[in-house]
Structure 1
Amino acid sequence: MPTEKQPCVYILTSKPFGTLYIGVTSDLVARLWQHREGAVDGFTKRYAVHRLVHFELFDTMELAIKREKQLKNWHRDWKLNLITRENPDWRDLAVGLGFEPMSSDARQAGP
């Protein structure tokens, strides 16, 4: 379970095997709130990429950024395999961090 100011790499998706987003943060809960509320314009808001399906915690932000860059350079299939290995049902892991489950049609992709 992440704590405040815990460096973290995370993967969001629009739906199982859907559009993926990889990010890094020092406060996963706050960052998830921003993504889910559409508080910041950008890719995740535009394409409704709000479901947390994978995250990794690190001791330093330097290590988290290094891992983020590594994951971003991976082939899509490798990313899908990583998620499926750790989270075979593609559950929204944000629910375990205190967020409400997202309905399948809560947010629609598009401008």
Structure 2
Amino acid sequence: MNYTYMVQCADGSLYTGWTNSLEKRLKAHNEGKDGAKYTKAKRPVHLAYYEGFATREEAMRRECEIKKLTRKQKDALRNF
């Protein structure tokens, strides 16, 4: 399974990415090991939203779509 996910950073900002293991990726973001450069200074992060996909390509495509959304649209997606 592959996932597109959004995390909310300690400063309230959102980061979107994709992974094949949500648990490992969240741990990486929060520990700074192989986490995104963006989230490194904004820890801790909390999982705010995710979607599951059968393929990596689908998850990556959805990540691109979500990154193009406005903050208001991302908040609506999270609160759905």
TM-score, length-scaled by structure 1: 0.65
Paired positions, count: 79
Residue 69 of structure 1, aligned match among 57, 61, 64:
64
Separation in 2 of the partners of 1:68 and 1:20? Answer: 13
How much identity, in percent, do the aligned residues show? 33
1:46-79 residue CA offsets vs partner (Å, 9 max, x unmatched): 1225100101000001110110000000111000
Amino acid at match of 2:30: R
Per the alignment, residue 35 of structure 1 pairs with 29
Per the alignment, residue 83 of structure 1 pairs with 78
SS at match of 2:50: strand
Moved more, 57-66 or 30-39: 30-39
- Identify the structure with bigger relative contact order (alpha carbons < 8 Å, sequence gap 6+): 2
Query: Is the 8 Å Cα contact of residues 12 and 49 (structure 1) preserved in structure 2?
Result: no
Per the alignment, residue 21 of structure 1 pairs with 15
Query: Is the 8 Å Cα contact of residues 24 and 68 (structure 1) preserved in structure 2?
Result: yes
Amino acid at match of 2:65: Q
- What are structure 2's unaligned runs of at least 5 residues? none
Residue 48 of structure 2, aligned match among 40, 44, 53:
53
- What are structure 1's unaligned runs of at least 5 residues? 1-5, 86-111
Residue 8 of structure 1, aligned match among 3, 12, 28:
3
> Aligned-pair RMSD on alpha carbons?
1.7
